Amino acid sequence: MASTILLDIGFMAMLVVVAFAIVRLRSLFAIVMLQGVYSLVSAAWFVSLDAVDVAFTEAAVGAGVSTVLMLAAMLLADRESRPVPLGRQIGPLLIVVFAGLAMFYAVGDMPAYGDAHSPANSYVGHDYLDRTAEEIHIPNVVTAVLASYRGYDTFGEAVVVFAAGLGVLLLLGLNGNAGRWRAKPNGVRVSKQAAPAARKRPLPADAPQPMSAPAATIMTTRAKKPAAKKKKGGSS
Amino acid sequence: MISAVFENYHYSVVIILMMTGLYVVFSSRNLIKKLVGLSVFQTSVFLLYITIGKVAGGQPPILVDDGHGGGHGDGKDHHAEVATNLLAGGEAKVGGAQHSAEVLYSNPLPHVLILTAIVVGVATLAIGLALVVRIREVYGSIEEDVIADLDHRYNLEGTAD
C-alpha cells in the first residue's frame, strides 16, 4: 500500500514537471515530444489507479498516434514558437488562477479519495460488476461494458473517427489539390511564403485546377519544404 | 476547505495539471503549442475521472476466477476482509454477486467513458492539426498575431479567388 502511494506521488511529480516544461519551452519539437512523455507517464499512473484498459489505450493512442500526428504537422508547419510578450500573459494567468481557485473550492465537496461508497462508485458501476459474469460471460468488465452494454456508444465513436479521417483528407486536399490553393483577397497575395508547392509550379489564378497530378509528387514537394527552409541548421 | 485540499491531494494535483494545460491554450500564440496544451488539458481531465473511480484496496475490474485462486491467496485474504467490511450492507443481493463480495474492484464505468474520450480526442486533434497545416500553407505562419495582422491588413474575409 505504501509503495503504491510512493508510486502515485512520483508519477504526479513527473507530470507536474513535464507540464511546466511544456509551458516554458519554445522549441516545438521538444514540446511535442514532451506531450508524448506526458501521455506515457499518465498511462503509467493509470495502471497504478487500476485502469489497465485506459492505460494501454492511452499509451498506444495518446503517446503513440497523437505524437506522430503532431510531429507530422510540425514538420509541415514550423519548428519554433515565438515568445509571447509578458503583458499578454497576465490575462490568461489571471483567468487560470481564478478557475483553479474555484475548482480547489469545489474539492471540499468531493468524496474522499478511494471511497468505495462515493456516489460515483455506488450504483451503475457496481451493477456492471455484478452482472457481467452472468450476462456477458467474459472476465473483463470494461470490455463488456464497452462492446456490449454500451455498444451503440462505441459505434458512435467509430463514426466520429471516420468523420475525422474524412475531414482530414478533405482539408489536406489529397484529391490532388494539395498546396495549390492560396488566398488572394482583392487581387493581393497574402504571403510570399504561402503555399510553397504552388510557388514551385506557379499556376494562373483563373486556371481550372488540374486534377491529374499524382498526390505522391505533391506530398514529396511538401515534405521537402521544412528542410529547405531550415538550411541554416543543416542537420537533417 | 484547506484540509480537504491536502487530504485529497490527488484531486489537487490533477487540478494543477488541468490549469497548466488551460494556461498553455490561453497564453500561447503558436497554434501547434496551443493544440499541445489542449492535449495536456484533456489528459488531465482523464486523470480526474480515473482518480474518482479508484477504490482504495481495489483491483482492476477484471473478474477473478475462483477456480485457480491459489496464485494470489495471500492477497485475497486482505481483499476479502476489506470487502466484508465495506460491502456488508450490499451483500445480500443476488447469488451472482459473490464475485464482487469477495474481491473489491475499482469502478469500471469511468474507464469505459475515458476509453471513448481518448479515441475521440485523437480524432479531433487530427482535424485541428490538418487545419493548422492548411493555415500554414495559406498564411505562411502559424502564429496567431501574424495571422490576425494579415487578415486585418488585407481585409480578408474568407474570399478566395
Per-residue pLDDT of B37-89, as tens digits, reads: 999 999 999 999 999 988 888 888 888 875 444 434 444 444 444 444 444 44
pLDDT of A188 reads 52
In CATH, what is the architecture of B1-54+108-161? Orthogonal Bundle (1.10)
More confident residue, A216 or A27: A27
Question: Residue B96: what residue type?
Answer: G
Highest mean pLDDT among A1-5, A82-86, A206-210, B156-160: A82-86
Q: Which of A55, A83, A111 is the last residue of a domain?
A: A83
Distance CA A33, CA A30 (A): 5
- The DSSP letter of residue B85 is H
Cβ contacts of A167 on chain B, cutoff 8 Å: 127, 130
Q: Is the pLDDT of residue B161 over 80?
A: no
Weakest mean pLDDT among A176-180, A192-196, B48-52 = A192-196
User: Helix (H, G, I), strand (E, B), or coil: what is residue A1?
Assistant: coil
Q: Which of A83, A115, A138 is the last residue of a domain?
A: A83
For residues B28-45, give the mean pLDDT.
94
Q: Is the pLDDT of residue A64 over 50?
A: yes
CB contact under 8 A, B138 and A12: no
pLDDT of A2 reads 62
More confident residue, B1 or A82: A82
CA nearest to A107 within chain B: B5
Nearest to A16 among B13, B138, B156 (CB): B13
Q: Is the pLDDT of residue A105 over 70?
A: yes
CA nearest to B43 within chain A: A39
More confident residue, A69 or A201: A69
pLDDT of A219 reads 44
Look at residue A236 and tell me if it is in a domain: no
Cβ contacts of B28 on chain A, cutoff 8 Å: 81, 84
Confidence of residue A180 (pLDDT cuts 50, 70, 90): low
Grid coordinates belonging to B51: 482518480
CA nearest to B127 within chain A: A168
Look at residue A79 and tell me if it is in a domain: yes
∠ at Cα A198 (A194, A204), nearest 5°?
Answer: 110
CB atoms within 10 A of CB A216: 8
Grid coordinates belonging to A151: 455498444
For residues B117-145, give the mean pLDDT.
90
For residues A83-93, give the mean pLDDT.
88
CA atoms within 13 A on the CB side of A51: 30
Most A CBs within 10 Å, among B14, B17, B23, to test the A interface: B23
Distance CA B45, CA A199 (A): 43
Cβ contacts of B12 on chain A, cutoff 8 Å: 104, 107
Nearest to A157 among B97, B119, B133 (CB): B119
What is the value of ipTM here, to two decimals?
0.76
Distance CA B36, CA A39 (A): 11
CB contact under 8 A, A23 and B23: yes
Q: Is A15 in the same domain as A78?
A: yes
Look at residue A197 and tell me if it is in a domain: no
More confident residue, A93 or B156: A93
Distance CA A156, CA B143 (A): 34
pLDDT of A176 reads 57
Our CA-based measurement puts residue B28 at a distance from the nearest CA of chain A, in whole angstroms, of 7
Most B CBs within 10 Å, among A152, A190, A218, A229, to test the B interface: A190
Number of domains in chain A: 2
Look at residue A223 and tell me if it is in a domain: no
Paired with B62 in beta bridges are A140
CA nearest to B131 within chain A: A171
Nearest to B50 among A49, A72, A112 (CB): A49
More confident residue, A235 or A139: A139
pLDDT of A190 reads 53
pLDDT of B123 reads 94
More confident residue, B78 or A125: A125
Which residues are within 8 A (CB) of B83 and not within 5 positions of it... i.e. 6 or more apart?
B100, B101, B102, B103, B104
Nearest to A153 among B61, B116, B124 (CB): B116
Q: Is A13 in the same domain as A72?
A: yes
CA nearest to B128 within chain A: A168
Distance CA A22, CA A58 (A): 19
For A170, the domain range is: 125-182
CB contact under 8 A, A57 and B119: yes
CA nearest to B161 within chain A: A184
Confidence of residue A129 (pLDDT cuts 50, 70, 90): confident
Average pLDDT of every residue of chain B: 77
Kindly list the domain boundaries of chain B, sorted by start residue.
Answer: 1-54+108-161, 74-105
Q: Is the pLDDT of residue A218 over 70?
A: no
Look at residue A29 and tell me if it is in a domain: yes
Most B CBs within 10 Å, among A39, A53, A107, A150, to test the B interface: A107
Most B CBs within 10 Å, among A9, A82, A143, A177, to test the B interface: A82
Within an 8 Å CB–CB cutoff, is residue A200 touching chain B?
A: no
